[in-house]
Structure 1
Amino acid sequence: MNIKSLDIIHDEHRALAAMLSGLRTIASNIEAGRLKPDYDLLETMVEYIDKVPEKVHHPKEDQYLFAKLRLRSADALPVIERLEEDHRQGEARINALRAALANYRQQGEAGFTGYYEALKTYIEQEWRHMNTEERELFPLAKAHLTVEDWAEIDAAFLGNQNPWEGAAGEYRALFTKIVNMAPAPVGLGG
């Protein structure tokens, strides 16, 4: 059975991973003295993370995939509860990253260490979360959800099939802006 929603979630995870990797690459290049900080770029990348995963991706997982699996498998409950807790903490985690970036912008070089530590913490938490979904939750979902469940979940996720699209191309425009601002190898900018 081809499960479109799991393919979409996986693609969205890859899109987020690319953004997080870009942030890490830029920060490590700043740390090594190869790049000067572009605070507008960094803020735009954090804005993307906030708008797409936190506001689109996670709510659909909660409302559709997790809700259906909760009804079908008691074995999945501990995993679902951990993932839902991650989602509930998402706003606080993104706000902590924003605050560290704002502090970095205000303090300049003196604020870099705090920003970089906050970024590494955020990235580590996101990787753990995505790996839990793909390695633990997806197999449980495949084992316990019905064809009817998948049809409903797939329909919900097809609305955001391309993680760069968003409402009226809003996320595509944001992604394009990031690609054009970010220096190589992250983007096309200077």
Structure 2
Amino acid sequence: MASRCCRCAGRADAQTNRRPPSTLRHRFGCPQGSCPMKTATAVLRHEHEAIVLALRILAEIDRHAIAHDPVERQDLQALVDFLAEFADTCHHGKEEQLLFPRLAQTGNPKVQHTVERLLPEHVRGRHWIGKMRQALQPLRPEAFHEAARAYAQLLLTHIEQENTVLFPMAEQLLSTEELIALSREFDTFERQVMGPERHEALHDLLSRLQTRYSI
């Protein structure tokens, strides 16, 4: 039997209703550089899983904050920092700097239209991250709630569009070899913008918060 990238294997497990491994590091992909078979779209899909988990944790803490229950402001700060660094700088950076330009080279008008529709949503996401930051200094629960809810709604719709529309188009327009090569460029980009081991550190942060808030 041919070997499978652990990212692809994880997706196959989900399709056959087998419970995925419990640790974030297994759930969200291979350690950097360890899997030569990973494709760019598989990497981005797995990063979406981490972002969705962060949004679920954010919603849970926000629920307590808006009810004026005691909350750890540093946990909210850590999540906003995660979304700024991982979801925007790293994940959206890979798309804006590498995936989208590569898709533009195909000259396909449908994919270009899709990219032109998705790009402004990255900008709006940065706006709401800024609003969340402002609402933390000092903590203003109502203002934070408004920004967090708007950001989550935006990003969840955005992720669905990428997973169901953009990535399938990319997989039709680019060969598997091209997508694997692009994922290697992702690795280089990530090391440049985040530094070594930062990816794992951020997922460890999510794991701790997931346990703390029983998500």
- Do these two structures clear the TM 0.5 threshold for a shared fold by scoring above it? yes
Corresponding residue for 2:174? 145
Whole-angstrom CA distance in 2 between matches of 1:31 and 1:45: 16
Whole-angstrom CA distance in 2 between matches of 1:171 and 1:68: 24
Corresponding residue for 1:168? 196
Corresponding residue for 2:132? 97
Amino acid at match of 2:60: T
Corresponding residue for 2:88? 54
Whole-angstrom CA distance in 1 between matches of 2:103 and 2:196: 31
C-alpha contact 1:13 1:130 (8 A) present in aligned 2: yes
Decide whether aligned partners of structure 1 residues 101 and 119 sit closer, same or farther in structure 2, where only a CA change above 3 A counts.
same
Give the RMSD, CA atoms, in angstroms. Answer: 2.6
- Give the count of matched residue pairs: 175
| 62-71 vs 174-183, which moves further | 174-183
| 43-52 vs 90-99, which moves further | 90-99
Runs of 5+ unmatched residues, structure 2: 1-7, 9-36
Whole-angstrom CA distance in 2 between matches of 1:74 and 1:56: 26
C-alpha contact 2:128 2:147 (8 A) present in aligned 1: no
C-alpha contact 1:68 1:149 (8 A) present in aligned 2: no
Matched residues, percent identical? 23
TM-score by length of 1: 0.79
Q: Which SS does the other structure have where 2:71 is aligned?
A: coil
User: Which residue, 183, 188, 209 being the options, matches 1:154?
Assistant: 183
Whole-angstrom CA distance in 1 between matches of 2:105 and 2:135: 39
C-alpha contact 2:41 2:171 (8 A) present in aligned 1: no
Say yes or no: does 1:39 pair with 2:73. Answer: yes
Q: Which SS does the other structure have where 1:132 is aligned?
A: helix
Q: Which SS does the other structure have where 1:102 is aligned?
A: coil
Whole-angstrom CA distance in 1 between matches of 2:167 and 2:208: 35
Say yes or no: does 1:66 pair with 2:95. Answer: no
TM-score by length of 2: 0.71
Say yes or no: does 1:25 pair with 2:54. Answer: no
C-alpha contact 1:101 1:115 (8 A) present in aligned 2: yes
Whole-angstrom CA distance in 1 between matches of 2:177 and 2:48: 25
Whole-angstrom CA distance in 2 between matches of 1:23 and 1:158: 27
Q: Shift of the alpha carbon at 1:4?
A: 1.6
